[in-house]
Amino acid sequence: MGPKRSVPSGSKSAPKKRRRVMNLKEKVELLDMLRSGKTAAAVGRHYCINESTVRHIKKKEKEIREAIAAAAPTTAKYLHKPRDPNLSRVESATFFWVLDCYKKGIPVDSGIIREKAKSLYDFLKENEGEGSTSADFQASKGWFENFKKRFSLCSVKVMGEAASADQETASIGQEAAREFPETPKKLIEEKGSIQLLPFKLDCRDVPEVNVLERSFSVHKAHSVKDMENIFQLVRNVIPPLTTKKHKGQDGRIGIVGGCQEYTGAPYFAAISALKLGADLSHVFCTKDAAPVIKSYSPELIVHPVLDSPHTDEEVAKWLPRLHTIVIGPGLGRNDTLLENAKGIIEKSKVRGIPVVIDADGLWLIAQQPSLIQGYQRAILTPNYMEFSRLYETMFRTSVDSNDNHRCVLRLSQALGNLTVVQKGEKDIISDGEKVLVCSHEGSSRRCGGQGDLLSGSLGVLAHWAFLAGPEKTNGFPYVKTSY
Ligand SMILES: NC(=O)C1=CN([C@@H]2O[C@H](COP(=O)(O)OP(=O)(O)OC[C@H]3O[C@@H](n4cnc5c(N)ncnc54)[C@H](O)[C@@H]3O)[C@@H](O)[C@H]2O)[C@@H](O)CC1
Ligand SMILES: Nc1ncnc2c1ncn2[C@@H]1O[C@H](COP(=O)(O)OP(=O)(O)OP(=O)(O)O)[C@@H](O)[C@H]1O
């Protein structure tokens, strides 16, 4: 592997020695050795690993053997258990409900929050009917503690009639407290008994931000080994060229955008998708933008439907044929166009189509975050301004430019762990669990259209990563693709 290494945010310590990571096949062999009577120490020596690692693997024996039985690739290094998408949805909804209660001055305790989350989860499960594969969700105390950390919630104590003195009764966002500073004061005045715990979030409450960083300069000579590392990442998802495929299999991408003012942006996105390797690139734009975009390239398929009274039906005809949708380049901020884009996002979600949201699509999301919240097949690609807008919508406070990594992580979490790519000198990417920093050097010019090239390319890569499957992307297709 290349220069990628894991360092805690802000750490200046020396790089850690790389751990030996065993794949599933090796782990099963190790377990068999233990079963045959060898001691943990002997097995550790055999595999050059610590005895504690051997014990840890032994503890996971059941899961490892089950994974093998379920035909997980034996070269897999981690047991990847995808997060329950319903749980992500429930957590986002619960977070907003808590904020809403806070705004209205309604104290909620951990019991009420847990009850609310459970009822939301059960509701989703019930709606899925008999075929539901959702697990039972108990909204346990452990879940509540993680939920608080995930959404950076902190606690206030309510004393007097409302609750006993020591009872933790409300968990609210620290930023909410800044947004609605009057609320706690009002409550104190009305009930005379409310005390706020220090609102400053205790650093121990915030999960450690693990950052993976990779950089590659185009202005320096590189060793073949360095370049091999980069190419390997890319090779992992690029579908092989063969004579056995038919037109369209390597990617049918739809770009939603293009209006009277902006015809370049959707063109850049659509043509970069084609140049990267998509088979077909469609543009859904307004009637007056269509002839202009068509005239740029005969390779694009252009649909002048975005301002039609029948956008829904027109787009619905095409959606089943598309692998990814890119929403926003050159969309503009006309209400009708935004409303139509909203309809397309909703329909894409129903069909499970990966969606990349950029430019004015992000403007729309900043107005209505619930539109995309919890849809983990979405990738948002905000530039600095777009990121600030989204962040302020979600947290009612400005971005802390000294702690961008954490801000990107938090935004992703608040949106239900979808992938956020904050563009800039270094691109910061997070799915709410990890933060990847990409400092590959690009052009030093900052001309318009570079973001459009990125969103179009991501449209194709998202499809390819999805096709490649979790094994080739370590279980995280979208975040790896964005990297
Ligand atoms: N040829 C074309 O048709 C083009 C059309 N475009 C479209 O134009 C529309 C508006 O896009 P905008 O990007 O202007 O969106 P905004 O209207 O949100 O403007 C963003 C502003 O943020 C500023 N900004 C960006 N990065 C910054 C940073 N790091 N620090 C401080 N300020 C920063 C920019 O200079 C710009 O003024 C979109 O639909 C977009 O797709 C652009 O993509 C450019 C090319
Ligand atoms: N200061 C910078 N230094 C180096 N690269 C940058 C810098 N800012 C942005 N980039 C790179 O340029 C690409 C486009 O980002 P940019 O911020 O220009 O997007 P945008 O404003 O959405 O573009 P567009 O003009 O298409 O709307 C990203 O891939 C990002 O990595």
Find the ligand nearest to 404 CA.
1
Nearest protein CA to atom 20 of ligand 1, as residue: 385
Atom of ligand 1 nearest to the CA of 424: 29
Atom of ligand 2 nearest to the CA of 427: 31
Task: Tell me the one-letter amino acid at 196.
Answer: L
Regarding the beta carbon of 423 and ligand 2, being less than 6 Å apart is answered yes
Interval between CA 2 and ligand 1 midpoint (Å): 34
Count of Cβ atoms closer than 10 Å to residue 34 Cβ: 17
pLDDT at 173: 40
Nearest protein CA to atom 11 of ligand 1, as residue: 359
What is the rounded average pLDDT for all residues in the chain? 78
Tell me what percent of the residues of the chain surpass a pLDDT of 70: 71
- By most ligand atoms within 8 Å of CB, the mutation choice from 450, 458, 461, 483 for ligand 2 is 450
CA pair distance 345, 372, nearest whole angstrom: 8
Backbone angles phi, psi at 429, to 5 degrees: -125, 135
CB within 6 Å of ligand 1 — which residues?
262-265, 329-332, 359-360, 383-386, 424, 448-449, 451-452
Nearest protein CA to atom 9 of ligand 2, as residue: 424
Are residues 196 and 156 in contact, defined by beta-carbon separation less than 8 angstroms? yes
Binding site, residues? 330, 383-389, 423-427, 442-452
Atom of ligand 1 nearest to the CA of 330: 39
Mean pLDDT, range 140-160, rounded to an integer: 68
Mean pLDDT, range 206-216, rounded to an integer: 54
Regarding the beta carbon of 264 and ligand 2, being less than 6 Å apart is answered no
Regarding the beta carbon of 429 and ligand 2, being less than 6 Å apart is answered no
Does 437 have pLDDT greater than 90? no
Find the ligand nearest to 267 CA.
1
What H or E segment, with its residue span, contains residue 437? strand 435-438
Tell me what percent of the residues of the chain surpass a pLDDT of 90: 39
Are residues 269 and 453 in contact, defined by beta-carbon separation less than 8 angstroms? yes
pLDDT at 439: 80
Nearest protein CA to atom 13 of ligand 1, as residue: 359
pLDDT at 26: 84
Q: Which of 45-59, 194-208, 339-353, 389-403 has the lowest mean pLDDT?
A: 194-208
Interval between CA 183 and ligand 1 midpoint (Å): 37
CA distances from 204 to 12, 142, 208, 402 (A): 20, 16, 9, 18
CA pair distance 59, 212, nearest whole angstrom: 28
Atom of ligand 1 nearest to the CA of 452: 43
